[in-house]
Amino acid sequence: MQRVELARKVKLEDYIDIVGEEQIRSVKALGEKLKDISVTHVNSTAFGGGVAEIMHSMVPLMREAGVDTHWEVIKGAFDFFSVTKKIHNALQGMNVQLSKDEERTYQEYNRMNSESTILDTDIVMVHDAQPAALIQFYPNKTNKWIWRCHVDLSTPNLAVWSFLEQYISRYDAAVFSAKEYVIPSLRVQPIAIRPPSINPLSDKNKELTDSQIFEVLNKYEIKPDKPIITQVGRFDPWKDPMGAIDVYHLVKKQFPEAQLLLIAGMAADDPEGWLYLEKTARHAGEDPNIHLLTDLKGVRDLEVNAFQRASQVVLQMSTREGFGLTVTEALWKCVPVIGRKVGGIPLQIIDGTNGFLVDTVEQAAEKVLYLLKNPDMARQMGASGKEHVRENFLIISHMRDYMLLFNELLQAKQAVT
């Protein structure tokens, strides 16, 4: 495994104007209770995807609150990440099976990673399926292990879930983004429900000036005076970027100068991304107003921020979605979002208040047209979206809930001993 070194200093006080003094006091009080404990987060990539993004904010903030916090990333080759992407797809309902060789590949990489580090902190929080089997190689552990699930487990492939559950059942607690994702057979207690969050002061979410936004648009040849429709998300079968293109084609019949931005980071743990990027490019064809924007073209957090703020409408056409932080990001920037009624999206979009929930491409196009034709209503919905995020999906309350769970587990351990 490889430790991610984060030297960035943060101050909890910088968040007071955003979340209020009471939340900051609560986090500091919890930090005082936990000042003598240590925590390790483990996931599969340091860049790309919501988990890594959360960790880049969560780890420094936990340290600032007084908790000795570390972040480890497991190592794996193409064969391992091909298997774990297959597991990811199966957990979200795809009809695939793991061969015995694939099961052994998964187990062997987890074993190798367990031997390359010492996970002896008081709390180990393991994120998603890729490193879930690490616990198998710590049979005499005395610390507390938490499995954090970020995917949509509402309709899993039960055969693949059964393979994974043998490891997850060894954990001391589990955290899911929504109660609908808790598998009834899972015998882990406690189980906590905690949606993911964004950091309002990160490069991706902080306030930008108009000149900063225009500079980014100009660099990528996006016209600021023409309608901009944006979808942010990996190129994979669940995000349905081709569905977003279909929405755009319908909208273009009434707004021929509309532009579609499809934005993604090419994550190291997602070998399928390249295949779906190619498929999406073929579906887009030669339309100059469809822009496929990735980190390979220099699109990083600040650029995503600018694109989202410049958009009139943001789409999230996912057919499965564990939560969908890209929805949160857009709502925080006062942009109404149109998304399918799946996974964590309905937790964020209040239909008709801060965006619209849809089932089909045709419904999505209808709602995009409505917002483009009614900019005052779009602004009103955008303002509602920001307040919904402020109340529910910011990093400070997310961190506080994790710290409450840590405290609960450690107090239970002390009571037993």
Q: Where are the domains of the chain?
A: 2-197+394-410, 210-392
Tell me the percentage of the chain whose pLDDT exceeds 90: 89
Q: What is the pLDDT of residue 18?
A: 97
Residue type, 10: V
Q: What is the pLDDT of residue 268?
A: 60
Q: In this structure, what DSSP letter does residue 206 have? A: S
Question: Residue for token digits 């419904």?
Answer: 363
What value does the mean pLDDT take over residues 142-158? 95
Residue type, 158: L
β-strands 2-3, 68-73 pairing: antiparallel
Q: What is the pLDDT of residues 288-307, one digit of tens each?
A: 999 999 988 999 999 999 99
Q: Do domains 2-197+394-410 and 210-392 have the same CATH topology?
A: yes
Q: What is the pLDDT of residue 117?
A: 85
At 315 the three-state DSSP class reads strand
Q: What is the pLDDT of residue 350?
A: 98
Encoded tokens for 344: 């964590």
Q: What is the pLDDT of residue 375?
A: 97
What value does the mean pLDDT take over residues 113-139? 93
Q: What is the pLDDT of residues 173-216, one digit of tens each?
A: 999 999 999 999 999 999 999 999 999 999 999 999 999 999 99
**Per-residue burial over 290-302, b = 16 or more CB atoms within 10 Å of its CB, e = otherwise:** bbbbbbeeebebe
When pLDDT is cut at 50, 70 and 90, the band that residue 412 belongs to is confident
What value does the mean pLDDT take over residues 226-249? 95
Instruction: Please list, in sequence order, all residues whose beta carbon lies within 8 angstroms of the beta carbon of residue 371, skipping any fewer than 6 positions away.
Output: 312, 313, 336, 338, 377, 378, 381
Closest CA to 298 of 228, 235, 204, 220: 220
Distance between CA atoms of 170 and 57, rounded to whole angstroms? 28
Residue type, 334: C
What value does the mean pLDDT take over residues 36-41? 97
Closest CA to 93 of 396, 405, 342: 342
Sheet containing 123-127: order of strands: 2-3, 68-73, 38-43, 123-127, 144-148, 173-176, 191-193
Q: What is the pLDDT of residue 48?
A: 77
When pLDDT is cut at 50, 70 and 90, the band that residue 239 belongs to is very high
Q: What is the pLDDT of residue 416?
A: 65
Fold adopted by 2-197+394-410: Rossmann fold (3.40.50)
Which CB contacts under 8 angstroms, 24+ apart, belong to 105-111? 105/79, 105/80, 106/80, 106/133, 107/133, 107/136, 109/74, 109/75, 109/76, 109/77, 109/80, 110/74, 110/134, 110/136, 110/137, 111/136, 111/137
Distance between CA atoms of 31 and 13, rounded to whole angstroms? 14
Give residue 293's region: left, alpha or beta (phi > 0; psi -120 to 50). Answer: beta
Distance between CA atoms of 167 and 152, rounded to whole angstroms? 19
Q: What is the pLDDT of residues 334-386, one digit of tens each?
A: 999 999 999 999 999 999 999 999 999 999 999 999 999 999 999 999 999 99
Tell me the percentage of the chain whose pLDDT exceeds 70: 98
Cβ atoms within 10 A of the Cβ of 100, count? 7
Closest CA to 157 of 217, 91, 79: 91
The CATH superfamily of 210-392 is Glycogen Phosphorylase B; (3.40.50.2000)
Q: Residue 140 above 90 pLDDT?
A: no
Q: Residue 266 above 90 pLDDT?
A: no
pTM of the entire structure?
0.93
Q: Residue 41 above 70 pLDDT?
A: yes
At 153 the three-state DSSP class reads coil
Encoded tokens for 128: 């998603």
Q: What is the pLDDT of residue 141?
A: 86
Element (H, E) at 310: helix 301-310
Number of H helices and number of E strands within the chain?
15, 13
- Mean confidence (pLDDT) of the chain: 95
The packing angle between helices 21-33 and 50-65, to 10°, is: 70
Q: What is the pLDDT of residue 342?
A: 95
What value does the mean pLDDT take over residues 39-59? 93
Q: Residue 9 above 90 pLDDT?
A: no
Q: Residue 417 above 70 pLDDT?
A: no
What value does the mean pLDDT take over residues 252-269? 89
Q: What is the pLDDT of residue 269?
A: 60
